[in-house]
């Protein structure tokens, strides 16, 4: 987990710098957002000073009713050494005393035209993604029919070649070779490429290619939820594979269970077509259509009829 600077917050959420441009290198170490309503009234027993302090209409109105000395006293108490930034929503402009207290302690003040609730949600979502614990996996991460598929397997099994065929078929690349996953919430993982590998693929015999340059911006995306792992395995003597697809494997990544299927790889197979069908079958299962269960039900009915 790494800190996020206030400058990154400004650039990614398009916030306006009201004061303290020289202090934008301050770090934001937590995704939690604080609205200091109680503190403005003088109650500082549980003040979370290390959080972004977000001032909505209620907080700004209360401050405006104070005398100048009262405002300065409260804002100085809010401006702690570890306080990263003050943010004002709804295009509100802070009182002079707020700017003075922030400047005294090297704290920048930002503004935004959006509502307080929406601004709080946007900042929290961005920070959760940036500050979340990450786990790297070796493979190719692609979006197929809106689903995030991580293609894994031994070196040389054809992961990148299959992904390239998928891209040619209109699907999108998220990351090749190494994928960084982080937990979006308790049940959701998102993956993205490391900055140095963004939009790039390594194809044996060709070297490094830039997918966006060759296929356009519609062939890539920056991040994607992980829905299914497709493990490519060369067929070897003695291997046994689940022919009906009734056994569902699960893989734990950062505490989230992700389903995994194993696809046997043999000479002459069109792996990209199989992966496309795997994605469609996974979506159908999630909608309640299970071909394996239908087959087993038909088989059981046929056995019962023969017994009769």
Which residue positions form the known binding site for ATP? 153-160
DSSP label of 220? B
Instruction: List alpha helices for the chain, DSSP H.
Output: 6-13, 37-40, 57-64, 68-78, 96-104, 116-131, 159-168, 211-215, 271-286, 291-307
159 classed as catalytic: yes
Count of helices and strands (H, E) across the chain = 10, 17
3-state secondary structure of 240: coil
Question: Is 243 labeled as catalytic in the residue annotation?
Answer: yes
Nearest CA-CA partner of 264 in 274, 255, 254, 256:
274
- Which of 76, 177, 260, 285 is catalytic? The answer is 177
CA distance 224 to 92: 35
Q: Which of 159, 171, 190, 221 is catalytic?
A: 159
Q: How far apart are the first and last CA of the chain?
A: 65
Q: What does 85-105 look like in DSSP terms, one character per residue?
A: -EEE-TT----HHHHHHHHHT
* Strand pairing report for 52-55 and 86-88: parallel
Binding residues for Mg(2+): 160, 202
Whether 301 is catalytic: no
Question: Binding site: what residues are annotated?
Answer: 153-160, 202
Quick check: is 32 catalytic?
Answer: no
Task: Output the six-digit token pair for 45.
Answer: 């027993």
Closest-CA residue to 4 (of 185, 12, 174, 119): 12
Looking at 243, 252, 304, 307, which residue is catalytic?
243
Please give the torsion angle defined by the CA atoms of residues 265, 267, 272 and 274, in that order, rounded to the nearest 10 degrees: -60
Residues with catalytic function: 138, 159, 177, 243
């Amino acid at each position: 987990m790494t800190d996020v600077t206030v400058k990154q917050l400004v650039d990614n959420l398009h916030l306006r710098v009201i004061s303290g441009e020289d202090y934008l290198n301050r770090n934001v170490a937590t995704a939690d957002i604080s609205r200091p309503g109680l503190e403005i009234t003088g109650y500082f027993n549980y003040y979370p000073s290390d959080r972004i302090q977000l001032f909505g209409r209620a907080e700004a109105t209360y401050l405006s009713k104070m005398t100048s000395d009262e405002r300065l006293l409260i804002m100085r108490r809010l401006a702690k050494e570890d306080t990263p930034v003050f943010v004002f929503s709804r295009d509100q402009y802070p009182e002079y005393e707020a700017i003075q207290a922030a400047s005294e302690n090297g704290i920048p003040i930002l503004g935004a035209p959006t509502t307080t609730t929406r601004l709080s949600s946007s900042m929290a979502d961005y920070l959760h993604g940036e500050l979340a614990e990450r786990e790297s996996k070796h493979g190719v991460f692609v979006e197929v029919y809106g689903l995030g598929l991580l293609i894994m397997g031994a070196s040389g099994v054809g992961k990148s070649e299959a992904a390239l065929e998928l891209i040619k078929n209109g699907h999108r690349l998220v990351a090749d070779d190494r994928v960084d996953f982080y937990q979006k919430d308790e049940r959701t993982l998102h993956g993205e490429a490391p900055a140095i590998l963004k939009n790039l693929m390594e194809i044996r015999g060709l070297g490094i290619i830039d997918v966006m340059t060759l296929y356009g911006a519609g062939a890539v995306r920056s991040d994607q939820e992980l829905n299914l792992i497709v493990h490519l395995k060369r067929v070897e003597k003695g291997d046994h594979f689940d022919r009906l697809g009734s056994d569902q494997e699960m893989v734990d990544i950062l505490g989230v269970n992700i389903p995994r299927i194993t696809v046997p790889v043999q000479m002459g197979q069109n792996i990209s077509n199989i992966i496309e069908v795997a994605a469609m079958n996974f979506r159908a299962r999630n909608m309640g259509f299970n071909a394996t269960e239908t087959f087993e039900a038909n088989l059981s009915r046929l056995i019962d009829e023969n017994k009769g």
